[in-house]
Amino acid sequence: MRISSFLIPTAAFAGAAGLSLVVAGFAATALENNSEIVVRRTLDKAGFTWAEVAADGLRVELSGEAPDEATRFAAISEVGSVVDAARIIDQMEITPSKGIAPPRFSTEILRNDAGISIIGLIPSDSDHRALVKKLGAIRGAPQVTDFVETADYPMPKGWTDAMSYALKALALLPRTKISVEAGAVQITAIADSPEAKEELETELNRMLPPNVHVTLDIAAPRPVISPFTLRYVLGPEGGRFDACSAESEESRSRILDAARDAGLERQADCTIGLGVPSANWSRAVEVGLEALTSLEQGSITFSNGDVTLVAAQGTPEALFDRVVGELENALPQVFVLHAVLPEPEETTADIIPEFTATLSPEGQVQLRGRLSDNAQKRTVDSYAKARFGSDTVYVATRNSPDLPGVWPIRVLAALDALAQLERGSVTVTPELVAVRGMSHVENASAEIARMLSQKLGEAEDYDLDITFEKPPEPEDKLMAPQLCEAELAAIQRADKIAFEPGSATVAADSARVIDKIAKLLQQCGEIPLEIQGHTDSQGREEMNQNLSQARAQSVLNALRARRILTGSFVARGYGEDNPIASNDTEEGREANRRIEFRLIESALPQDDAETAEAESDAQSADAEAAPAGDADAQTPETPPAAAAAPEEDTDGQ
Q: So what's the pLDDT on residue 619?
A: 42
457 pLDDT above the threshold of 80: no
Per-residue pLDDT, 606: 46
Instruction: Give the pLDDT score at 440.
Output: 87
**Are the C-beta atoms of 594 and 647 separated by less than 8 Å?**
yes
pLDDT band at residue 279 under the 50/70/90 scheme: very high
Spatial separation of the C-alpha atoms in residues 563 and 18, rounded to whole Å: 103
446: in domain: yes
Q: What CA dihedral angle connects 331, 332, 338 and 340, to 10 degrees?
A: -10
Q: Looking at the domain assignment, is residue 100 inside a domain?
A: no
CA dihedral angle for residue 495, residue 484, residue 597, residue 625, rounded to 10 degrees: -50
Over residues 600-616, the mean pLDDT reads 49
Top-confidence residue, 349 or 79? 79
User: What DSSP character marks residue 2?
Assistant: P
Question: Averaging pLDDT over each range in 19-28, 173-182, 436-445, which range is the top one?
Answer: 173-182
Q: Are residues 188 and 249 in the same domain?
A: no
Question: In the Cβ-directed half-sphere of 449, how many Cα atoms lie within 13 Å?
Answer: 28
pLDDT, position 30: 67
CATH number, domain at 73?
A: 3.30.1340.30
Q: Does residue 139 carry a pLDDT above 80? A: no
- The share of the chain scoring above pLDDT 90, in percent, equals 32
Q: What is the mean pLDDT of residues 14-30?
A: 67
- Strand segments, DSSP code E, in 25-81 are 52-56, 59-63, 65-66
Q: What is the pLDDT of residue 415?
A: 94
How would you classify the pairing of strands 569-575 and 497-498? unpaired
When divided into structural domains, the chain yields a total of 5
For residues 250 and 280, membership in a common domain is answered with: yes
Residues 444 and 515 in one domain: no
Reported as a pLDDT band with limits 50, 70 and 90, residue 506 is confident
Of 14 and 518, which is predicted with more confidence?
A: 518
Query: Do 332 and 372 fall into the same domain?
Result: no
Q: How many CA atoms lie within 13 A of 254 on its CB side?
A: 18
Per-residue pLDDT tens digits for 563-572: 888 878 889 8
Q: Which residues contact 141 (CB under 8 A, 6 or more apart)?
A: 111, 115, 116, 135
Residue 476, pLDDT score: 55
Task: Report the pLDDT value the prediction gives residue 629, as an integer from 0 to 100.
Answer: 36
Q: Do 382 and 233 have their domain in common?
A: no
pLDDT at 5: 67
Same domain, 89 and 122: no
Work out the mean pLDDT of the chain and round it to a whole number: 82
**Is residue 11 domain-resident?**
yes
Task: Show which of 468, 490, 519 is a domain's final residue.
Answer: 468
Which of 28-32, 107-111, 460-464 is the most confident on average? 107-111
Among candidate residues 441, 468, 495, the one where a domain is terminated: 468
347: pLDDT strictly greater than 70: no
| Mode of pairing for the β-strands spanning 298-303 and 271-272 | unpaired
292 and 234 Cβ atoms separated by less than 8 Å? yes
Sign of the CA dihedral running 70, 75, 81, 85? negative
* pLDDT average, residue stretch 232-261: 93
Print the SS3 string covering 614-637: HHHHHHHHHCCCCCHHHHHHCCCC
The single-letter DSSP state of residue 344 is P
pLDDT at 2: 54
Across 400-408, average pLDDT: 89
Instruction: Give the model's pLDDT for residue 140.
Output: 67
Compute the residue count for the chain.
Answer: 653
Task: Between 413 and 636, name the one with better pLDDT.
Answer: 413
Instruction: Answer whether residue 236 shows pLDDT above 70.
Output: yes
- Tell me: pLDDT of 475 over 60: no
Q: Does residue 194 sit in the same domain as residue 316?
A: no
Q: What residues make up the domain containing 87?
A: 7-94
| pLDDT (mean) for 416-443 | 91
Residues 486 and 627 in one domain: yes
Percentage above 70 pLDDT, the chain:
87
What's residue 259's pLDDT? 94
Is there a domain that residue 566 lies in?
yes
The Cα–Cα gap between 507 and 504 comes to 9
Q: What is the CATH number of the domain that holds 522?
A: 3.30.1330.60
Give a three-class secondary structure readout of 96-120: CCCCCCCCCCEEEEEEECCEEEEEE
Question: Do 127 and 148 belong together in one domain?
Answer: yes
Residue 90 maps to a domain: yes
25: which residues sit within 8 A by CB, 6+ positions away? Answer: none
pLDDT per residue over 251-275, tens digit each?
999 999 999 999 998 888 898 988 9
Confirm if 599 and 612 have CB atoms less than 8 A apart.
no
pLDDT of 12 above 80: no
**Better-scored residue on pLDDT, 480 or 104:** 104
In this structure, what CATH number is given to the domain that contains residue 181? 3.40.1520.20
- Confidence class for position 55, pLDDT limits 50, 70, 90: confident
Residue closest to 123 by CA, chosen among 152, 145, 92: 152
Contacts of 264 (CB under 8 A, 6+ apart): 232, 238, 239, 240, 241, 256
Instruction: Please give the Cα distance from 48 to 108 (Å, whole number).
Output: 45
Residue 648 has pLDDT above 50, yes or no: no
Examine residue 620 and state whether it is found in any structural domain, yes or no: yes
333 & 392 share domain? no
- More confident call, 96 vs 560: 560
Preceding amide of 227 cis, omega within 30: yes
Together in a domain, 279 and 370: no
Parallel, antiparallel, or unpaired for β 529-534 and 569-575? parallel
- Look up the CATH number of the domain holding residue 247: 3.40.1520
Q: Is 496 helix (H, G, I), strand (E, B) or coil?
A: coil
Are residues 206 and 244 located together in one domain of the fold? no
Nearest to 443 by CA among 433, 454, 451: 451
User: Of 412, 447, 468, at which residue does a domain stop?
Assistant: 468
Q: Confirm whether 1 is domain-assigned.
A: no
CA distance 653 to 643: 19
**Confidence (pLDDT) at 644:** 44
Q: Is residue 247 part of a domain?
A: yes
Question: How many angstroms separate the CA atoms of 70 and 586, rounded?
Answer: 65
